[in-house]
Structure 1
């Protein structure tokens, strides 16, 4: 099972005690959804997700809310990994003043002042109610989002950036159930496909109290976007690491990633926008 494989591949996403019940929940979701389940957002590994197809990708993302209940399943639950910063593994950034923000490229607070470098990335997540067929946005929910920097390191934990807290932030969903974060494209570290972690909470109060998580999952990036980004300056090691992994062999996404593959628009020169619908 892929959770065992993930423990073996890389230390960034351990958590077998968490993952075993997750697997059971995911199997139940798929049995209930049936073989005819239609992906809500994103595309298959063979589809073109380049900038030239951004308009169709955006249309797919916007139409997700109109899916019928028979086509709607909750976002797959995944491990938060060992570096969540939500208090479940030591460090808790959620209770710090300044964590509620849209631009997560810079650290906040008196003890940190660094800025994450890399290709600009805007991430928009749309949180919807799965029970209503994904047609109802979850207004007033909250999303905590975090990811690795260009070098594949996590603020608060990785050597050299333990005093930084960039690439972490919380936002409350608007009337459309959306949150938007300004960030940089994460690097590919050894053993994992490029990804972003996020947690959904019932409210902003729950998120900043680091309690009552509704859902924990991960967003994946299409390969052609990764290739374009990693051809730019500063991502050299990511090129090597990406050659060793695929969505099909990644310890998290190998059992299915249709609901987690972001729709992309933009370019490496101007920056990218990633969108994903998150049914909870």
Structure 2
């Protein structure tokens, strides 16, 4: 039974109404302003494990791995015609081929990690990840350059990519790579990047996807790895774990708020 004499769990609005009856107008306004100042911080976090923290902490710097395609080791997708795009499922610049797999949309939002949570407009995000078989274009698949693309953040700091759900290859938890550049004009070489990191995906969603046709190798690979043993995510995924909704039939949508120094 609810005890109406103990309403501490009924929220800020209820508390302010009670306070209004017990204090003068000037003091009430002070409390209201203090409460309002906290509201912009709600929901600024990245992913299911990082609520609130993206506004105060920069996403960890991570390795781009051996297949970045950013010019750092030869292959450079950033200079390809058509690389600035939202749908990254097909190859471009004279190559043909489309990656198959469960539909997957990523919505990445950049915010100022200095505590303001202000959206960062006009930055460029380069995203890449492996295909359904665990292979990377431009390296293992030399005749493909799909699953790579660049987008400019909008007024809300957000970029959206349409892709396929990545595989789990041996030795790594399923993940996506990204680099952040100050703007589109500088997103042509790794020398200009200001952040490199990786995105983690919830294990239960991965298990559901990998039970579908085409992902059979990922089932056994996932069974032999965990976040605690992964060489990138073993120190925690609080700022890198995406929130994923959807289904195999309808496709999945992953969202993550990423903090970087403005």
- Asked whether the two chains share a fold, i.e. TM above 0.5, the reply is yes
Per the TM alignment, residue 214 of structure 1 is displaced from its structure 2 partner at its CA by 1.0
Per the TM alignment, residue 41 of structure 1 is displaced from its structure 2 partner at its CA by 2.0
Mapped pair 1:232 → 2:212: yes
2-side partners of 1:207 and 1:100: how far apart? 10
Per the TM alignment, residue 197 of structure 1 is displaced from its structure 2 partner at its CA by 0.1
Mapped pair 1:91 → 2:75: yes
Task: Say whether the 8 Å CA contact 2:58–2:258 is kept in structure 1.
Answer: yes
- 2:45 paired residue among 40, 45, 49: 40
Task: Say whether the 8 Å CA contact 2:108–2:158 is kept in structure 1.
Answer: yes
2-side partners of 1:134 and 1:275: how far apart? 20
Match of 2:107 in 1: 124
Per the TM alignment, residue 246 of structure 1 is displaced from its structure 2 partner at its CA by 0.6
Per the TM alignment, residue 68 of structure 1 is displaced from its structure 2 partner at its CA by 9.2
C-alpha RMSD of the superposition = 1.8
1-side partners of 2:235 and 2:254: how far apart? 22
How far does the alpha carbon of each residue in 1:226-271 deviate from its partner, in whole angstroms, 9 at most, with x for none? 0110010000000000000011111100001111000011011211
1-side partners of 2:158 and 2:188: how far apart? 18
How far does the alpha carbon of each residue in 1:207-230 deviate from its partner, in whole angstroms, 9 at most, with x for none? 135442110000000011001100
How far does the alpha carbon of each residue in 1:134-170 deviate from its partner, in whole angstroms, 9 at most, with x for none? 5211100000000000000000001xx2111000000
Q: 1:118 to 1:85 in 2, by over 3 A?
A: same
- 2:133 paired residue among 151, 155, 161: 151
Q: Which has the higher helix share?
A: 1
2-side partners of 1:177 and 1:40: how far apart? 14
How far does the alpha carbon of each residue in 1:104-132 deviate from its partner, in whole angstroms, 9 at most, with x for none? 0000011x10100000000010011112x
Match of 2:146 in 1: 166
Query: Which structure 2 residues correspond to residues 128-207 of structure 1 after superposition, within 5 A?
Result: 128-131=111-114, 133-158=115-140, 161-207=141-187
How far does the alpha carbon of each residue in 1:69-100 deviate from its partner, in whole angstroms, 9 at most, with x for none? 6xx10000100001000000110110111100
Match of 1:18 in 2: none
Structure 1 stretches (4+) deviating beyond 6 angstroms? Answer: none
Task: Say whether the 8 Å CA contact 2:62–2:197 is kept in structure 1.
Answer: yes
5+ residue gaps, structure 2: 1-42
- Which one has the largest radius of gyration? 2
Q: How many positions carry a matched residue from both structures?
A: 218
Task: Say whether the 8 Å CA contact 2:129–2:177 is kept in structure 1.
Answer: yes
2-side partners of 1:135 and 1:122: how far apart? 23
Match of 1:101 in 2: 85
Task: Say whether the 8 Å CA contact 1:140–1:173 is kept in structure 2.
Answer: yes
1-side partners of 2:128 and 2:110: how far apart? 17
TM-score by length of 2: 0.80
Task: Say whether the 8 Å CA contact 1:173–1:179 is kept in structure 2.
Answer: yes
1-side partners of 2:124 and 2:245: how far apart? 24
Q: 1:251 to 1:234 in 2, by over 3 A?
A: same
Mapped pair 1:220 → 2:200: yes
Task: Say whether the 8 Å CA contact 2:44–2:257 is kept in structure 1.
Answer: no
